[in-house]
């Protein structure tokens, strides 16, 4: 499926894959607002993850809805907004699109568990333990480019290179012109 024009871009992937870092870099280049999914969790979700307990579907629906609606609002002023959200399962991605009421371009940060574990080991995170990485991979349903509006990029590339790759793909989306 060729990429569908979207005002909302969500950088997705397992914890530690680089969503916050890359999402901020893309937003900077687009002069767009950046919304980090981590900020939209209810306290109960944060406490659960901090305690080393993986979230389940029921924990995620209100979080995903809040983030989708906030991204819609954030995209109003300039016609673009960038988010970071693990969006691990296909049903979560479909739910984000449903609640946004418009297309979303997902950028999937793909990398090995070993590489991501090594990056988690050297980062400071408010609450997410590296011990949850296994459950993240167990829950991840890799997006299918044939049926989902997704661009997969390898996290072995630098943040700068990933950002360039994403922007290059946006150029083919007519909505990109409004952002320049
Ligand atoms: N492309 C990259 N190359 C090297 N290091 C990266 C890259 N992207 C992110 N990082 C580093 O990996 C760690 C995890 O990134 P982060 O943005 O916190 O991931 P997430 O938001 O998916 O949990 C951070 O220390 C970050 O600086
Ligand atoms: O289970 C999930 O859907 C994810 O764990 C999601 O909740 C997010 O990944 C965490 O908030 C940790 O944030 P980072 O992805 O920034 O590590």
> In this structure, are residues 3 and 169 in contact, taking their beta carbons and an 8 Å threshold?
yes
pLDDT tens across 45-103, in order?
999 999 999 999 999 999 999 999 999 999 999 899 999 999 999 999 999 999 999 99
Measured distance CA(180)–CA(133) in Å, rounded: 38
> 86 CB less than 6 Å from ligand 1?
no
Whether residue 106 lies inside any domain: the answer is yes
Three-state DSSP string of the chain:
CCCCCCCEEEEECCCCCCHHHHHHHHHHHHCCCEEEHHHHCCHHHHHHHHCCCCCCHHHHHHHHHHHHHHHHHHHCCCCCEEEECCCCCHHHHHHHHHHHCCCEEEEEEECCHHHHHHHHHCCCCCCCCHHHHHHHHHHCCCCCCCCCCEEEEECCCCHHHHHHHHHHHHCCCHHHHHHC
pLDDT value, residue 172? 61
Mean pLDDT of the region 37-47: 97
| Inside any domain, residue 153 | yes
Question: For ligand 1, atom 8, which residue shows the shortest CA distance?
Answer: 18
Closest ligand 2 atom to residue 13 Cα is 15
pLDDT at 124: 86
User: Is residue 1 assigned to a domain?
Assistant: no
Closest ligand 2 atom to residue 17 Cα is: 15
Residue 2 domain flag: no
Q: Which residue's C-alpha comes closest to atom 14 of ligand 2?
A: 15
- Does residue 57 belong to any structural domain of this protein? yes
Q: Note down the domain range covering 83.
A: 8-173
Structurally, how many domains does the chain consist of?
A: 1
Query: Is 180 within the bounds of a domain?
Result: no
ipTM of the complex: 0.95
Whether 3 maps to a domain, the answer reads: no
Query: Cα of 86 to ligand 1 centre, how many Å?
Result: 13
* Residue 175 pLDDT level (bands cut at 50, 70, 90): low
> For position 43, what pLDDT does the model report?
97
Structure tokens at 115: 């590489």
Residue closest via CA to ligand 1's atom 16 equals 18
- The span from the CA of 121 to the CA of 26, in Å, is 24
The domain that holds 64 is classified in CATH as 3.40.50.300
88 lines ligand 1 (CB under 6 A): no
Asked whether residue 178 is assigned to any structural domain, the reply reads no
């Amino acid at each position: 499926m060729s990429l569908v024009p979207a005002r909302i871009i969500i950088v997705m992937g397992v914890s530690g894959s680089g969503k916050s870092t890359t999402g901020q870099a893309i937003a900077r280049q687009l002069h767009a607002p950046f919304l980090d999914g981590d900020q939209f969790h209810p306290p109960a979700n944060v406490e659960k993850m901090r305690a080393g307990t993986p979230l389940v579907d029921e924990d995620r629906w209100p979080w995903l809805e809040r983030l989708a609606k906030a991204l819609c609002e954030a995209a109003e002023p300039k016609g673009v907004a960038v988010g970071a959200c693990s969006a691990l399962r296909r049903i979560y991605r479909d739910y984000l699109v449903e609640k946004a009421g418009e297309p979303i371009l997902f950028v999937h940060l793909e990398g090995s568990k070993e590489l991501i574990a090594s990056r988690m080991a050297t980062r400071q995170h408010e609450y997410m333990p590296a011990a949850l990485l296994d459950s993240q991979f167990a829950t991840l349903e890799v997006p299918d480019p044939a049926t989902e509006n997704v661009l997969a990029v390898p996290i072995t590339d630098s943040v700068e290179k990933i950002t360039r790759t994403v922007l290059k793909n946006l150029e083919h989306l007519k909505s990109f012109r409004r952002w320049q």
